[in-house]
Amino acid sequence: MQYYRLKKQADFQRLFQKGKRAFSPTLTVVYRPSDKTTMGISIGKKHGKSVQRNRIKRLLREAFRATQGEMQGTYTLVLIPKVAENYSLEAFKTHLQWIIRKEKL
């Protein structure tokens, strides 16, 4: 299943204002039903320098790619990682699957 990237600031702002939130130990997911699956990542400078932030973004994209098949509908999502000592692909996958099951996405 293919997904599209959320890129425009206005789209992010609209989702933050009108979307629902789901929380896990490593992620916060803001989502809203949509006509096509769209995903964006919001990560601040408190996560480290650009090298660390880009690594976290790569891990989140891969975790979403691996788990998006479990989603029943089409949604627009923004993934927001929580600050942690270490970031792992397995933790992101597990918590993203947990959110998808919990929120019935």
pLDDT digits (tens, 9 = 90+) for 38-87: 999 999 999 999 999 999 999 999 999 999 999 999 999 999 999 999 99
Distance CA 96, CA 91 (A): 8
**Amino acid 2: pLDDT:** 78
Residue spans of the domains in the chain: they are 4-98
Higher pLDDT, 1 or 104: 104
Q: What angle is formed at CA 6 by the lines to CA 4 and CA 7, rounded to 5 degrees?
A: 125
Angle at 55 between CA 104 and CA 46, to 5 degrees: 85
- May I ask the CATH architecture of the domain 4-98? 2-Layer Sandwich (3.30)
- Cα(8)–Cα(43) distance, integer angstroms: 15
Tokens 């691996």 identify what position? Answer: 66
**Predicted confidence (pLDDT) per residue in 2-41, tens digit:** 789 999 999 999 999 999 999 999 999 999 999 999 999 9
